[in-house]
Amino acid sequence: MYDPLTTSKLANKQPLADSYWASTVPSAQLRTKPLATDISTDVLIIGAGYTGMSCALHLAEQHHIEATVIDANSVAWGCSSRNAGFVLHSSGRKSFSQMQQQWGEDTMRAVHAEMLEGVERLNQLIARGIDCEQQSPGYLKLAHRPRYFEQLKAQAELQKKMFNVDVDILSRDQLHQQYAADQNAYGAIRFAKGYGLNPIKLALGYKDLLSQVNVSIYSDTPALSIEKQNHGHIVHTPQGNIRAKKIVLASNGYTPKGLHPVLNNKTLPVLSQVIVTRPLTDQELSLCQLQTNQVIMDTRALKYYYRKLPDKRILFGGRGAITGKSAEDPYYAERLLAVLKSSYPSLKHVSVDYAWAGWISVALDEIPHVYQNAENNVFYATGYCGSGVSFTCQAGKRLADKVAGSAVPNIPLYQTPLPHFPLPAFRRVGQWAYFQYGRFKDAYF
């Protein structure tokens, strides 16, 4: 598999990942024509995932600025067609209590409000007619050890006090009886908000909205290099050059090595892996007691997450391989299946129909950044750390605001650049060390 940390060219004409989601739509619907001539545009957006499409939509509808979007492959070929479809009120990996400690209460609250607005914005977009199979609301966080249940309870109390959120505390018995008899869980908290959707249908919805405002999206059109000019840039693609006054880098975890200095050595692409089982029978479901189709995540350092899909399959996800070279090793899917079976032992014979992985983008400071270069003509949004289905919608809006010269909230997500990784050549070593630490912590603490 393509590895963005080591490869400077993302090949075009690649099919969608062989995912469960890809089986739910005709893939041709996501493929548009490639660019076949030289063009000029005010704003060129590189990457047609949720971020790029949200930016183009907000530029057109709120700022009346026309943009052109290109993708090296089809629309949403990256994470936006591969994710687990959890819509959560958060992004990045930094907790709100860490934000409070680091930035103070007002800034933490402003970040929280922005993340909430991301979910509301996404919901409004979906309400315009996107059929993306939204499931019933509810987000369960499971304690994988008794002492993590204490931490979850404290977290629930804090969130109630700080944000007045609707969150319940569930003992192991309550969890098992009402939602899911996960044998690895020692209690849970349940947020009333948060839900699952079909991510590829969401991407199709974005694409349809863009066609309604006449934004051109060119598939199979990789940005091979970006050349700085006196008044803007020329972006070279295989069959045409694009002259653009402003550029938006919406290539996230798939950004090829060296695409532009604003991103060089500033993110860590990490593989996230998902499996989807065959559909379960009603008898299997009643035996294993996975009653809910709300979204579920645990408290491990190396988290697992899962949900029951509308056709009674289970989607189960966690970390994948470290390098692109080993991404397709069946070991990673088998490991996820083994954990699923340990949570639901009666599913010991269940098989997997789909397994795939995708590159998420991790920022050193564990928060997303929507920022720009000193000349104010190259913009980017990245660093969602694997949690971007809703926040990409907001990040795209904020990118559009910045491109248009409008003010954005004064929070670190929008006012600080991505930090450099120290010793960038050793990012994989650092990731490997973190995984070892996480495995040890999850096994013994």
Ligand X SMILES: Cc1cc2nc3c(=O)[nH]c(=O)nc-3n(C[C@H](O)[C@H](O)[C@H](O)COP(=O)(O)OP(=O)(O)OC[C@H]3O[C@@H](n4cnc5c(N)ncnc54)[C@H](O)[C@@H]3O)c2cc1C
Residues that bind ligand X (CB under 6 A): 10, 46-52, 70-73, 76-80, 82-86, 88, 222-223, 250-256, 259, 272, 274, 317, 358, 360, 384, 386-389, 392
Please identify, using beta-carbon distances, which residue of 287 and 322 lies nearer to ligand X. 322
Minimal distance in Å, beta carbon 413 to ligand X? Answer: 14
Please identify, using beta-carbon distances, which residue of 60 and 79 lies nearer to ligand X. 79
| Residue partners of 103: CB distance under 8 A and separation at least 6 | 111, 412
Minimal distance in Å, beta carbon 104 to ligand X? Answer: 26
Minimal distance in Å, beta carbon 144 to ligand X? Answer: 19
Please identify, using beta-carbon distances, which residue of 88 and 280 lies nearer to ligand X. 88
Please identify, using beta-carbon distances, which residue of 72 and 411 lies nearer to ligand X. 72
Minimal distance in Å, beta carbon 49 to ligand X? Answer: 2
State which H helix or E strand residue 271 sits in. strand 267-277
Question: Could you give the dihedral angle defined by the CA atoms of residues 166, 170, 176 and 180, in that order, rounded to the nearest 10 degrees?
Answer: 30
267 with 306: CB under 8 angstroms?
no
Give the bridge partners for 359, in sequence order: 271
Please identify, using beta-carbon distances, which residue of 108 and 226 lies nearer to ligand X. 226
Minimal distance in Å, beta carbon 255 to ligand X? Answer: 5
Helices then strands (H, E): number in the chain?
11, 18
Lookup: tokens for 277? 């089982």
- E strands, 278-432, are 295-298, 305-308, 314-319, 352-363, 369-372, 378-382
Please identify, using beta-carbon distances, which residue of 172 and 386 lies nearer to ligand X. 386
Cβ neighbourhood burial of 406 (10 Å; 0-12, 13-18, 19+)? exposed
Give the span between the Cα atoms of 350 and 168, in whole angstroms.
Answer: 31
Minimal distance in Å, beta carbon 41 to ligand X? Answer: 14
| Residue partners of 124: CB distance under 8 A and separation at least 6 | none
